[in-house]
Amino acid sequence: MAEYSAPLKDMRFVLDNIADLASLSKLDGYEHAESDVVDAVLEEAGKFASNALSPLNKSGDMQGSHVKDGVVTTPDGWVDAYAGFVEGGWNGISAPEEYDGGGLPSAVALATVEMWNSANLGFALCPLLTQGAIESIIAHGTKEQQDKYLKKLVSGEWAATMNLTESQAGSDVGALRSKAEPAEDGSWRISGQKIFITYGDHEMSENIIHLVLARTPGAPAGTRGISLFIVPKYLVNDDGTLGERNDLKCVSLEEKIGIHASPTAVMSYGDNGNCVGYLLGAENKGMACMFTMMNSARLGVGTQGLAIAERAYQQAVEYARDRKQGQAPGMPKGEMTPIIHHADVRRMLMTMRANIEAMRCLIYLNGACLDRAHHGPDEDARTKAMGMAELLTPLSKGWCTDLGVEMASLAVQVHGGMGFIEETGVGQYYRDARILPIYEGTNGIQALDLVGRKLGLQGGEPVKNMFADMQETVKALAEAGDEMTAMSMQLNLAVTALKEATDWLYGNAPNDPHAAPAGATPYLRMFATTVGAHLLGRSALKARAMLNDGATDTDFLKSKIVTARFFMGQILPTATALLGPVTAGADTLFAIDEELLSA
């Protein structure tokens, strides 16, 4: 099993041609994101991922994290790897320069997030959550809070966690019961138990800043009565030094199917009545603050889906080149053929490759939209970009994490019997990937977000804009001719079906409360796959243009066209066929009584 190798060329191609890095580097605050700087950053990140993180992936899985007396021990090598991560400045490369961040666009940062997670998903979860906390404190913190916490979080000297879930409050966050009572000094006293807290405790950073959702006295029921609190593991003195240990602790860790290295903690706050927290944002507006954090985290988790698929793909290709079985047509007689030459194996590899390239387009574009939403030249541009970013987020999270599982499973299959043996390593990706469709909002929740919120966002403008973009690709492919003609027709069929499904949802959701939820999951799949095809179509057009302009890297550029053709011909048709399932309504879903379902 070789170590992970960052696909720098593919990443750069997507940054240039889909995220439009050149235009990002013209935005206020991103001027230094010049081509050679980005190249250097990606190259260095690739080295760190391959050399420092990837070698710990399997040993971390086997060893796992453990808790004793409330103190979590991470696997061997974790503390040093984290120190190297902080030292390299990787933790804050997209954070604002005023907090000592790198000030790079999110699109570029996401390429590094992809690398950390391909190399070692169990490790990379820790900085992923810190990232969400940074964004939340930037958006909602007071000046004092920002001064107190941001530089340390940006550097990574302090890590952060996200505390939503309680045993009775999972997807239904509004059901949480943790409490916050005001103290005389203006701070709050937090009490309650939280579950599924990723990196709830560890010794890699000198402090951990927990962001905790809780209810204040007399708060309204449901999500409208939730407030967000900053709850440091060690209280922070006014001079920035660490004070006393706060009254919170890790009670236990979960035994999980995968990501064994990542400690998933049950956290208890205020067992001794003295857990100090500080309100972040306004009282009862915790959900809004949490959504800042969650949107960032959702895109991050989508990136994890892409990342695990990429890692699994690399290993599958390597195995398929080494392993010899049988004899493929046209290969030398009398010797066994490397299985990469068998059509069915090649189908699996191309399926992974095409999906990975489509996911990367979607994820980096989503990041670029966020960059434009925050740094765009004017209010209109920023609003438009934010609408698109918000529309794409459930697609990134839902589709890329479903595919993460599916592609990891396919990589196991490429390995045959060896795929089921833990030693091979590919099984870890299959186990690790399974959390991705669940956490940061299950993919069912993502689908509901898409049909329930995103279709109507900004009066439907982002959806209209996406359709306009897709139709432009259909047209450009048709105009390009040759092998692009078939792609144009295939994409057009998909866009037309998606439009019909969308119109059906707009038409039926207002009258039938079950209509949109019933079709939400296949609709997300259909939407995301069609967007993926559109972006690969755009990639193919760019590659063709470069070839026409005499670019020398012909094999690479031609491969971009092949991947697009494969995606349109092999993957897109089943998504297009979801029109019927999306628009069937809830009738057959509920036609069998629940009693009989379990009979």
User: Residues with catalytic annotation?
Assistant: 440
Amino acid symbol at 349: L
Least CB distance to its own copies at residue 555 (A): 6
Instruction: Show the binding pattern over residues 174-193: x = contacts its own copies (CB under 8 A), - = does not.
Output: -x------------------
Q: How far is CA 318 from the centre of its chain?
A: 26
Least CB distance to its own copies at residue 46 (A): 13
Longest dimension (CA), the chain: 85
* Site for its own copies contains 556 (CB under 8 A): yes
Contact criterion met (CB below 8 Å) for 72 and 253:
yes
Instruction: Show the binding pattern over residues 577-596: x = contacts its own copies (CB under 8 A), - = does not.
Output: xxxxx--x-x-xxxxxxx-x
Residues paired with 248 in a beta bridge: 269
Determine which residue in the list 7, 103, 277, 462 makes contact with its own copies, applying CB under 8 A. Answer: 7
Residues paired with 207 in a beta bridge: 158
Least CB distance to its own copies at residue 578 (A): 7
Q: How far is CA 594 from the centre of its chain?
A: 34
Q: Which of residues 239-268 bind its own copies (CB under 8 A)?
A: 254-258
Q: Which of residues 153-172 bind its own copies (CB under 8 A)?
A: 165, 168, 170-172
Nearest Cα to Cα of residue 534 among 589, 471, 481, 596: 471
* Site for its own copies contains 437 (CB under 8 A): yes
Buried b (16+ CB within 10 A) or exposed e, 132-141: bbbbbbbebb
Contact criterion met (CB below 8 Å) for 105 and 368:
yes
* Helix (H) or strand (E) segment spanning residue 581: helix 579-582
Instruction: Show the binding pattern over residues 330-369: x = contacts its own copies (CB under 8 A), - = does not.
Output: x-----x-x-xxxxxxxxxxx--x----------------
Determine which residue in the list 430, 474, 477, 505 makes contact with its own copies, applying CB under 8 A. Answer: 430
Give the number of residues in contact with its own copies, rule: CB under 8 A: 99
DSSP state of 4: P
d(CA 448, CA 250): 33
DSSP state of 166: B
Determine which residue in the list 113, 115, 435, 536 makes contact with its own copies, applying CB under 8 A. Answer: 435
* Site for its own copies contains 439 (CB under 8 A): yes
* Site for its own copies contains 420 (CB under 8 A): yes
d(CA 93, CA 109): 6
Contact criterion met (CB below 8 Å) for 195 and 165:
yes
DSSP state of 568: I
Least CB distance to its own copies at residue 358 (A): 15
In the complex with its own copies, the residue whose CB is nearer, 184 or 555, is 555
In the complex with its own copies, the residue whose CB is nearer, 7 or 92, is 7
* Site for its own copies contains 300 (CB under 8 A): no
Determine which residue in the list 383, 458, 465, 559 makes contact with its own copies, applying CB under 8 A. Answer: 559
Q: How far is CA 472 from the centre of its chain?
A: 27
Instruction: Show the binding pattern over residues 314-333: x = contacts its own copies (CB under 8 A), - = does not.
Output: x--xx--x--xxx--xx---
